[in-house]
Structure 1
């Protein structure tokens, strides 16, 4: 290794250390906020979970509000990326509308278990909405749900243009689809806290897809 490379590596170590500390803090905060809620969660508890001092947390985040906003925004972005990928993979090419929508809806509910810490946060947000910083709620919605629903609405609009759906308002159709298929799974499982068995999930999804198609499938389909 040359002296220049050694110098560069030495200079990079503090930055890597700061990034690793920040990641440890946000991971711990997601766990603690999801477990205790925003109001009851303390910086001391987050520091203990992360294995750092409270001073280290305040060096990265000036307040609990800012830490919560950062955590929910980053967590929502991860889940949104997964859901956008599901839209692309499952609805990128439709050949059998009912079968493809059913496969899509079943895939759509899988993040409930894959991102358990995130949906722990969502449960707390729903319980404590009136006590949370409005900026945090807006950041969560813009980074996560609104971004995903906008993409789903665009895809439903494309399906309507191709004759698969009769949907003058694709965004509303996307909302109706999720309400009929995924929302019941989400609510019955308490946002993934008590996952439903596969048979119950499939029954909800299949009947929801059929109800959606009775409203939105063109007669010829």
Structure 2
């Protein structure tokens, strides 16, 4: 008689699979994808190596699922922070940078793994999807700002990609695993600096205030002829 899984055995299998995923994600958060070997995942999940392979076809696919789970959570947090509730697009973009940058600096090891760590092709494919999702969110904010006259007219997709590139490149040095953790004030300064840079790139320049008559650089008092010394 062929074996047929029961509701209980299916639940036990799902629970074990979830436990292995949690174990792998904890390893990645602590030391990156390279630390999440099958043996380490099995040990942390209190399972055998064979059990890992009974739930996942390969380590690469397991880590791709870990990436998808962690990235989806971060993406959901940012989506909530920048939801369009009628506020200015400049505020929404500032919130995106604040939440994305702030969370990356607070969870530096996981952020490095999600953004920069060399990974296998299966994980890299998930990373590309992750980046596209952020580009779409940013592009929607840029388009909204253009429609309201807050942002300069330009290619929205290119502008969104440039903003995300600026954020990533500004953070990379701070997120390196060998770099010392930044102090809270340094984190705030970094995020604020990125925000100012991106807003300056997107918003029209503020016109200089008009110069009142008689106060310009060319209005300095010129000496009259009688003020000049003539002869000894």
TM-score, structure 1 normalization: 0.74
Which of 144, 147, 152 is the equivalent residue of 2:138? 152
Which position in structure 2 is the counterpart of 1:122?
114
Shift of 1:31: 2.9
Q: Which has the higher helix share?
A: 1
Preserved contact between residue 163 and residue 198 of structure 2 (Cα < 8 Å):
yes
Shift of 1:162: 1.6
Please identify the structure whose Cα radius of gyration is greater.
Answer: 2
Which of 180, 193, 201 is the equivalent residue of 1:207? 193
Residues 56 and 193 of structure 1: is their aligned pair in 2 closer, same or farther, counting only changes over 3 Å?
farther
Question: Unaligned regions of 5+ residues in structure 1, if any?
Answer: 1-10
Q: How many residues align?
A: 202
Question: Unaligned regions of 5+ residues in structure 2, if any?
Answer: 1-5, 208-232
- 1:120-147 C-alpha deviation (Å, 9 max, x unpaired): 5337x62x34xx2x232112321x2211
Q: State the distance in 2 between where 1:214 and 1:113 align.
A: 23
Q: RMSD value over aligned CA atoms? A: 3.2
Which position in structure 2 is the counterpart of 1:44?
39
The within-5 A match list for 1:35-184 is 35=30, 38=33, 41-88=36-83, 92-95=85-88, 97=90, 101-112=93-104, 118-119=110-111, 121-122=113-114, 126=117, 128-129=118-119, 132=120, 134-142=121-129, 144-181=130-167, 183-184=169-170
Residues 62 and 207 of structure 1: is their aligned pair in 2 closer, same or farther, counting only changes over 3 Å?
closer
Preserved contact between residue 139 and residue 157 of structure 2 (Cα < 8 Å):
yes
Shift of 1:60: 0.6
Which position in structure 1 is the counterpart of 2:212?
none
Preserved contact between residue 104 and residue 111 of structure 2 (Cα < 8 Å):
yes
Q: State the distance in 1 between where 2:105 and 2:47 align.
A: 28
Which position in structure 2 is the counterpart of 1:4?
none
